[in-house]
Amino acid sequence: VQLQASGGGLVQAGGSLRLSCVVSGITFSSYAMGWYRQAPGKQRELIAAIGSGGHTNYRDSVKGRITISRDNAKNTVYLQMNSLKPEDTAVYYCSIGTYYSGNYYPLGDYWGQGTQVTVSS
């Protein structure tokens, strides 16, 4: 299983980025997918998830600014980030997961290399 995240970069506050994560080695359409981020000195946190049927969940701090989507034909999950803030600065990782009782859980230890997002003030 491989996850290849891309699309990060340096952007000014208020700007936008679109992250992509291409997944191989699984039947992509059968799995939920999630985006996590980890800022320096902080724990990795789930910010958005999308089920195999397209249902989405978001962390409160990013609601209204971030949209997760997927293209099963391309084995790719996306994260559109708008109105970026300096506190969004982190390494962003995609994950393979599942939903249980309405909550998203990552499966295995599949994270890929992540992609760095830096938002300047």
What is the per-residue pLDDT across 101-110, written as a single tens digit (0 to 9) for each?
989 999 988 8
Would you call 50 helix, strand, or coil by DSSP? Answer: strand
Report the largest interatomic distance among the alpha carbons of the chain, rounded to a whole angstrom.
40
Statement: residue 4 has pLDDT above 90: yes
Statement: residue 15 has pLDDT above 90: yes
Half-sphere exposure of 101 (CA within 13 A, CB side): 0
Statement: residue 63 has pLDDT above 90: yes
Strands lying side by side in the sheet with 17-24: 2-6, 17-24, 76-81, 66-71
Kind and range of the H or E run holding 69: strand 66-71
β-pairing, 9-12 with 115-120? parallel
The model's pLDDT over 85-97, given as tens digits with 9 standing for 90+, comes to 999 999 999 999 9
pLDDT for residue 108: 85
Give me the mean pLDDT over the 13-36 stretch: 97
